[in-house]
Amino acid sequence: MNIKIHRGLEQIGGCITEISTDTSRIFVDFGQNLPGCGKPSTPEEDEKMVKALFSYNSKKHEAVFYTHGHEDHVGLFEYIPDNVPQYMSQGTKELLSIKYGLLSEGASLKVGELQQCDCNSDEYNTAVNLCAQAENKCRLIKRMKTWHRTAPHKKTQSILIGDISVTPFFNCHSIYDSHMFLIEADGKRIWHTGDYREHGYMGKGLIPTLRKYATEIETLITEGTMLKRADKCIHEREISLKMANVMRAFKYVFVLASATDIERLAAIKEAANEAGKTIYVCSKFMKQTMDFFTMQEEELSHGLFSFHPKFYNQRFFRSAKRNGMVMIAGSSQKDRISKLIMGLPQEEILLIYSSWDGYYKDPEQIKANPTYKEFREMFHNVVDIHTSGHADRQTIEKVIKTVNPREVICIHKEEDAEL
Ligand SMILES: [Zn+2]
């Protein structure tokens, strides 16, 4: 069995791992490069690179497996040849279908609006192109093959691609339904962690899962995002307690967080309940992911992952103004939030910045996407309450010790980061 890390040894994100035998091969993740990590590329260059990877070393049986739905792991899915099946967890497929469904809806509305007015043809053509791209992604997502998370105490299911067997195991990360893989072929066993952590609500299964299933591993492929970062990884429960404390002190609390991170949304919700505040959202994406999480996980999690936010509109404004609120929003809702806070006294407003601080501190990140910084700067009172979606050094060491492999390959890490 051969392992080739095409991208990820010297960069965070944009990971592509190839594992092959004489007759078969699989790829784990096909991610887009993150801003500031790896060489920036145009969509045309991305497409060319993917086509090149599939044009050599090709095998009779081929497939792509995705660990989770972050762009730096799935971002290039549209360029995978049509005859190569792509696999992802059922939750990942649903999140991507919500995302691209809304993008496509928004893009086609924009095309409709531009048809009504005297816009210039460049603007119109751009809108038509964006619409076609989003529709194409929706079509491709529908064709993704899926696996279901293994229920507790149930037998794991493997997927066979020629003579390679892939078994997905649930993994706690800052996005819903992330997985790691046991890959077996030629009598050898590889463990690919994907992105993971132990300090989330669902992280306590990490070591027991490895103890039970990651046995006799030849090669462990682990992520190393945090190896050079000094951030302290506190548990999501602690995040929630910190949030509850500050939520009590301000009448209007805004929280900048990701719509796909079910655990952070739960931490925020628990904190709002503690502080006696009603939760509002103002984006369809946030509303739809929360509805999906509730439908899937409410019962299993005994209510931890149960979300019933109010959708913010003028009708609710009076009640929110009277009673206070917690508004959860993503950075793309900047304009909507800006209008909303204009009607409120700044001294009674707090922003809880609950995302990676690099988005507003690192010049390269700001250049690629200034909205996090701009969002933050709309507020006078800001507090950072966040913990990473990735394993800290201590957890990585524990994972290596537990798996006890013959060799370790560290990916998804900075160039000079060392284990
Ligand atoms: Zn990730």
Break the chain into its structural domains and give their ranges: 2-228+391-411, 236-384
Q: For residue 225, how far is its CA from the centre of ligand 1 (angstroms)?
A: 10
Q: For residue 195, how far is its CA from the centre of ligand 1 (angstroms)?
A: 5
Q: What predicted TM-score, i.e. pTM, was given to this entire model?
A: 0.95
Portion of the chain with pLDDT greater than 70, in percent: 100
- Residue in 3, 411, 419, 415 with CA at minimum distance from that of residue 196: 411
Q: For residue 276, how far is its CA from the centre of ligand 1 (angstroms)?
A: 32
Under the banding of pLDDT at 50, 70 and 90, the label for residue 287 is very high
Q: Which tens digits make up the pLDDT trace of 153-168?
A: 888 999 999 999 999 9
Q: For residue 8, how far is its CA from the centre of ligand 1 (angstroms)?
A: 13
- More confident site: 196 or 317: 196
Joined together, the tokens standing for residue 89 give 């967890």
Q: For residue 67, how far is its CA from the centre of ligand 1 (angstroms)?
A: 9
Q: For residue 85, how far is its CA from the centre of ligand 1 (angstroms)?
A: 22
For the residues 140-145, what does the mean pLDDT come to? 97
Q: For residue 403, how far is its CA from the centre of ligand 1 (angstroms)?
A: 22
Q: For residue 32, how far is its CA from the centre of ligand 1 (angstroms)?
A: 12
pLDDT at 414 (0 to 100)? 79
pLDDT at 17 (0 to 100)? 95
pLDDT at 41 (0 to 100)? 84
Q: For residue 162, how far is its CA from the centre of ligand 1 (angstroms)?
A: 28
Q: For residue 21, how far is its CA from the centre of ligand 1 (angstroms)?
A: 28
Q: β-strand 16-20 against 24-28: which pairing, if any?
A: antiparallel
For residue 292, pLDDT beyond 90: yes
Q: For residue 256, how far is its CA from the centre of ligand 1 (angstroms)?
A: 18
Of 38-47, 103-112, 344-353, the range with the lowest mean pLDDT is: 38-47
Question: Whose structure tokens read 């009674």?
Answer: 348
For residue 34, pLDDT beyond 90: no
Q: For residue 362, how far is its CA from the centre of ligand 1 (angstroms)?
A: 19
Q: Chain-wide mean pLDDT for the chain?
A: 93
Q: Within a 13 Å sphere around the CA of 317, how many CA atoms are in the beta-carbon half?
A: 10
Q: For residue 178, how far is its CA from the centre of ligand 1 (angstroms)?
A: 8
For residue 232, pLDDT beyond 90: no
For residue 242, pLDDT beyond 80: yes
**Integer angstrom CA distances of residue 18 from 25, 282, 356, 364:** 7, 41, 29, 29
Q: For residue 279, how far is its CA from the centre of ligand 1 (angstroms)?
A: 26
pLDDT at 295 (0 to 100)? 98
Q: For residue 97, how far is its CA from the centre of ligand 1 (angstroms)?
A: 18
pLDDT at 9 (0 to 100)? 77
Are 21 and 163 in contact, with CB atoms under 8 Å apart? Answer: yes
For residue 312, pLDDT beyond 90: no
pLDDT at 47 (0 to 100)? 95
Portion of the chain with pLDDT greater than 90, in percent: 79
| DSSP state letters, 109-170 | HHHHHHHHTT--HHHHHHHHHHHHHHHHHHHHHHT-EEEPPPPTTSPP--EEETTEEEEEEE
Of 68-72, 333-337, 414-418, the range with the lowest mean pLDDT is: 414-418
Q: For residue 174, how far is its CA from the centre of ligand 1 (angstroms)?
A: 7
Q: For residue 237, how far is its CA from the centre of ligand 1 (angstroms)?
A: 20
CATH number, domain 2-228+391-411:
3.60.15.10
Architecture of domain 236-384: 3-Layer(aba) Sandwich (3.40)
Q: Which tens digits make up the pLDDT trace of 45-64?
A: 999 999 999 999 999 999 99
Q: Which tens digits make up the pLDDT trace of 345-400?
A: 999 999 999 999 999 999 989 999 999 999 999 999 999 999 999 999 999 999 99
For residue 411, pLDDT beyond 80: yes
Q: For residue 144, how far is its CA from the centre of ligand 1 (angstroms)?
A: 19
- Residue in 140, 188, 144 with CA at minimum distance from that of residue 165: 188
Q: β-strand 325-329 against 279-281: which pairing, if any?
A: parallel
Q: How far apart are CA 156 and CA 169, in angstroms?
A: 8
